[in-house]
Structures are given as C-alpha cells and as structure tokens.
Amino acid sequence: MKTTTKSVKGTKKQASSKGEKSGNEVADGLRSLFQDELKDIYWAEKALTKAIPKMIKNSTSEDLINALTDHLDVTQKQVNRLEQVFESIGIKAQAKKCEAMDGLIKEAGEIMDQTEEGVVRDAGIISAGQKVEHYEIATYGTLAAFARTLGEYEAASLLEETLNEEKEADQSLSDIADTINVEAATEDIEEDEDVQTAVKTKRK
C-alpha cells in the first residue's frame, strides 16, 4: 500500500514539474491509446473474416463447423459495429496491423498443417480459436473500460455488445471441446489397440 502511494506521488511530481496540465495530458494520452487499440482490433476482426473460413474448411465436427460459421457471421457484424464506434467518437475507421492476431492466425495455420484431419485437428482448431477469443475478450474489456472513462458511452455500449459475443463464442468452443477432446483421446487409445492387435496377429 505504502509503495503504491509513493509511486503515485512520484508521478504527480513529474507531471507538475512539466507545468500543471496533467489532467488534460492524461486524458489526451488515454484517448489516443483508445483510438490506436480500436484500429488494432479493427485490423484483427477483418483478418478473422478471412481466417475463420479456412478453419471451417479444415474442421470435420458438425458442431464445430456450425459454431465457426455462426461466429464468422458475428465477426462480420463486429467489423461494422467497430465502424459505428469510430463514427461515434468522430474519427474515420482505420485499420492498423495487429501483430498479436497475425501471430495467432499463423499459429492456427501451423496447427492445421501439422495435424491429421479429424478429431485431433478439430481439437487443435478449437484451441487456436479459443486463444483468439481470449485475446478479443481482453481487448474489448479494456476498450469498453477506456470508453467509459473517456465518457464515450455509445462506444462503450457497442464495445460491450461485442465483448459479450466473444464470451459466448469462447463458451461454445469450450462446450464442443468437452466432446471432441474425449473423442480425440479415444482415437489415441484405439490406435494403441490397433498396434497391439497387429502385434498379436503377427505373433500368431
């Protein structure tokens, strides 16, 4: 507790030594951070509208295909919703490359390349998908909080709407994983049994 108080005091001192405009300076800083992060997630959502179809093509579980197809539709609407957010704060919609989402999408691609089609690849796609959803949940949670702090209440409620959709997507992937992971593990056991049967047959 004491340490926190001290560091806050230290920050205040630095700001006042620059000349007592700290209130506005902080708000301007937060606003431009808010705008930058909006541009980042705008890029990320657009990238996802291209990445999700590849994940759908690689999936075999009907439940997974349905969940991803639903979320592709939701994602396209989220792109439009972000354009409303930009409009509500009076700046033009602009995308700035999100290195994190670019990396998550690349990893999803690697997983799909390195697994056999079927339940195991499905399990990998769910894992990659949930990493994406968690990134989005963190981002929209932060952006909504920034918007509220900045008094941008229309933006805040739009961002909260998307936040809830990302949470729903994450939950539906968790539900599907419950089944698919078991199936994937069973496939391992079946493969082991096949090997054992083959060995036994050889012995005979």
Q: For residue 6, give the amino acid letter.
A: K
Using CB under 5 A, count the residues that bind Zn ion. Answer: 5
x/- mask, Zn ion, residues 16-55, rule CB under 5 A, reads: ------------------------x---x-----------
Which does residue 78 bind out of Zn ion, Fe ion, none, counting CB within 5 to 8 angstroms by kind?
Fe ion
Candidates 28-36, 54-62, 100-108, 186-194; binding stretch for Fe ion (CB under 5 A): 100-108
Tally of CB atoms within 10 A around 172: 20
Nearer to Zn ion, 39 or 71 (CB): 39
Q: How far apart are CA 52 and CA 58, in angstroms?
A: 10
Q: How far apart are CA 155 and CA 80, in angstroms?
A: 13
Cβ atoms 46, 95 nearer than 8 A:
yes
* 40 binds Fe ion, rule: CB under 5 A: yes
In sequence order, the 6+-apart residues with CB closer than 8 A to the CB of 122 are: 59, 60, 61, 64, 180, 184
Structure tokens at 128: 């990659």
Least separation, in Å, of the C-beta of 82 and Zn ion?
12
**Single residue of 98, 137, 155, 184 touching Zn ion by CB under 5 A:** 98
> What residues make contact with Zn ion under the rule CB under 5 A?
40, 44, 98, 100-101
